[in-house]
Structure 1
């Protein structure tokens, strides 16, 4: 089941405020979706995800197929009960992970043959197999199997940038796989929602061809894939500006694997409703913190004795403790930069747990502010203020 209600539109951009109803709950858009590759968002308790306002999270079809396996998933009735998450889940198709295997996989019209990175077993992924796996996972949003068109063919230095001809071949394969995915999804009687994925590399006319073919297939929702795959930032922004707002206005639009806070706000302005990215969690584990006033490197020596929280305006547990009151508003219960610097230097697991909570809270709170600005007709003002504050620096 999927129902999308368009609630507000911004007169000065393509930004929109919507509501997405799925089998496991309602999602307010625009939204950022935390990534839970193996059935868990790294370093975060499910209760913390609830508390910080996560409405929908991701699971990874490929990795869950490898471990724990479909027999275990089936015995739990799907991913929700297995990981104790009662809100919506989106699963990717496995296409990106298969693409990233490089020499370990062989792509044909039928699908992809590859060696398991876990135990070396010979395996086969096709559109039909991907739909069967995701049906067992019982995810609310299922993604078609596609070929993720790389920006580089081969290794940098010895390879070449993907040509228009190569991008066309890849896009057309994904288009055929989209129809096979849809046919198998319907044959299985899956009660959830299937999204088509627009491909075409960095070529706008190929993106348009892909988009038109998918719209004709009438998917419940659409994604833009094949960005943030090594291309220069200006090319990613070019595709972001070209494609999302050309998708049907009455259906949800998802930009896959993007990105920085700046990417999210710009994506909203271009008509995107849904985002996901490993950046807030991965960067947190590597000591990079996102704040209202720019990025902070907690490993820098200048934080060794700093009593301030990560972000004085933040109400997450790392910054405000259990009070939920920001430093700016008089709260003093959060953890200091000095303490988090100490945890990082000592390799204590509490450090990345707290910084992950903060980064995810920052992303989710940014999307909440975006939604509120759209409701109030103030998105342009928020967009300008966001850019100014982020440029100020911590």
Structure 2
């Protein structure tokens, strides 16, 4: 079986649909990866995540290194055996969480020293340690370790962080290549940085291409800059990366974010939004999100989304899910999350079909018009 192969089956404008083939399975692109931060997609069993249509999930290096520990996961069969998921797993590098969650961080050329958000214990992540952790976890797609700074930072700060990230990318690649059987069976992606600056993005892309990766991520977006600014960056950033490699937009996003990013040439996505929203009472539908806690759903016998074929919409009513959520029953969060993941995966399937048929623009425009239409509430 191929270690890693990306094949484009059809294009429509800048958008592409195809497959990534790995030993653990085939990933249909554009792909949405449900987030399994702590070795679980919250409120879902792995079999239900697969049934919803996911070909790959994401695990988090930072959280898993702190609890239960990468070495322990390795002893227990790696993430696949530990959590009972047999398809591909991508792990992020831990860089974003180190910067956003940890107290008392100290950055240096070596890496980042930080205090755990759990118990205050001190740790150090370097590019080499990040790759080692991901190897111990059994990750199939490993991410290079990078440094993230806010898009509001000065250009000088952004340039320095990007340049350091490129040096760390080379160290990450070298550490991955030294990983023996794991490197022979799996893949590594580099991460483009540069905030909203086209010149910095180009310099970052050129450095990553010079190193050479199996795929390329666009990092540093979806951190508060707004959709218009993000799309402005995506109007040029994907084109700076190799056309024959997958392009992964990290941490995105809302359904309309995903549709717009696919139109601009993105192949892979991840976001906590469908699971987090499910736990807080928001369900995604073809006509926009709804708050199931709203009193108007108390006697609504229709499904969460009349156009959804998921197991939740085929079985339970809005009234029942409303009751569960208002009563604080854990089944409420489970059903909401299962529906939301199924909605996201169905959206990806619709996007793949639209690209293959050469009708992406019509699909995207219709989706936005219905999703964003005033609800009269």
Same fold, judged at TM 0.5 (above): yes
Give the superposition deviation at 1:279: 0.5
Cα separation, 1, equivalents of 2:273 and 2:303: 21
Cα separation, 2, equivalents of 1:236 and 1:369: 23
Structure 1 regions of 5+ residues with no counterpart?
152-160, 322-334
Give the superposition deviation at 1:102: 5.3
Cα separation, 2, equivalents of 1:54 and 1:297: 25
- Alignment correspondent of 1:109: 109
Residues 16, 30 of structure 2: 8 Å contact kept:
yes
Residues 15, 263 of structure 2: 8 Å contact kept:
yes
Give the superposition deviation at 1:119: 2.5
- Alignment correspondent of 1:75: 75
Residues 227, 257 of structure 2: 8 Å contact kept:
no
Residues 207, 243 of structure 1: 8 Å contact kept:
yes
Select the residue among 283, 296, 319 that pairs with 2:313: 319
The answer to whether the aligner puts 1:233 opposite 2:235 as a matched pair is no
Give the superposition deviation at 1:103: 4.2
Residues 146, 165 of structure 2: 8 Å contact kept:
yes
Cα separation, 1, equivalents of 2:104 and 2:294: 39
- Alignment correspondent of 1:295: 289
- Alignment correspondent of 2:166: 175
Residues 295, 393 of structure 1: 8 Å contact kept:
no
Cα separation, 1, equivalents of 2:66 and 2:372: 43
- Alignment correspondent of 1:365: 346
Give the superposition deviation at 1:393: 5.3
Cα separation, 2, equivalents of 1:233 and 1:16: 21
Give the superposition deviation at 1:101: 3.0
* 1:122-155 C-alpha deviation (Å, 9 max, x unpaired): 111000000111111111100000011223xxxx
Residues 74, 138 of structure 2: 8 Å contact kept:
no
- SS at the partner of 1:59? strand
Cα separation, 1, equivalents of 2:73 and 2:355: 39
Structure 2 regions of 5+ residues with no counterpart?
none
Question: Map of 1:91-130 to 2, 5 A cutoff?
Answer: 91-101=91-101, 103-130=103-130
The answer to whether the aligner puts 1:7 opposite 2:1 as a matched pair is no
* 1:156-192 C-alpha deviation (Å, 9 max, x unpaired): xxxxx31111100111110110000001111122231
Which deviates the most, 240-249 or 277-286?
Answer: 240-249
The answer to whether the aligner puts 1:277 opposite 2:277 as a matched pair is no
Cα separation, 2, equivalents of 1:123 and 1:186: 24
Cα separation, 1, equivalents of 2:169 and 2:285: 39
Which deviates the most, 242-251 or 191-200?
Answer: 242-251
- Alignment correspondent of 1:162: 153
When the two chains are superposed, the root-mean-square deviation of aligned CA atoms in Å is 1.2
Give the superposition deviation at 1:289: 1.2
Question: Map of 1:1-394 to 2, 5 A cutoff?
Answer: 1-10=3-12, 13-101=13-101, 103-151=103-151, 161-189=152-180, 190-191=183-184, 192-321=186-315, 335-392=316-373
Cα separation, 2, equivalents of 1:345 and 1:221: 43
Cα separation, 2, equivalents of 1:71 and 1:134: 10
Cα separation, 1, equivalents of 2:371 and 2:349: 17
Cα separation, 2, equivalents of 1:234 and 1:166: 23
- SS at the partner of 2:284? strand
Residues 149, 199 of structure 1: 8 Å contact kept:
no
Residues 377 and 233 (structure 1 numbering): CA distance in 2 closer, same or farther, change over 3 Å? closer
* 1:217-238 C-alpha deviation (Å, 9 max, x unpaired): 1111000001111223321121
* 1:230-258 C-alpha deviation (Å, 9 max, x unpaired): 22332112112221133111101000000
- Compute the TM-score of the two structures, normalised by the length of structure 1: 0.91
Cα separation, 1, equivalents of 2:126 and 2:228: 33
Cα separation, 1, equivalents of 2:211 and 2:192: 12
Cα separation, 1, equivalents of 2:146 and 2:175: 14
Cα separation, 2, equivalents of 1:149 and 1:175: 14
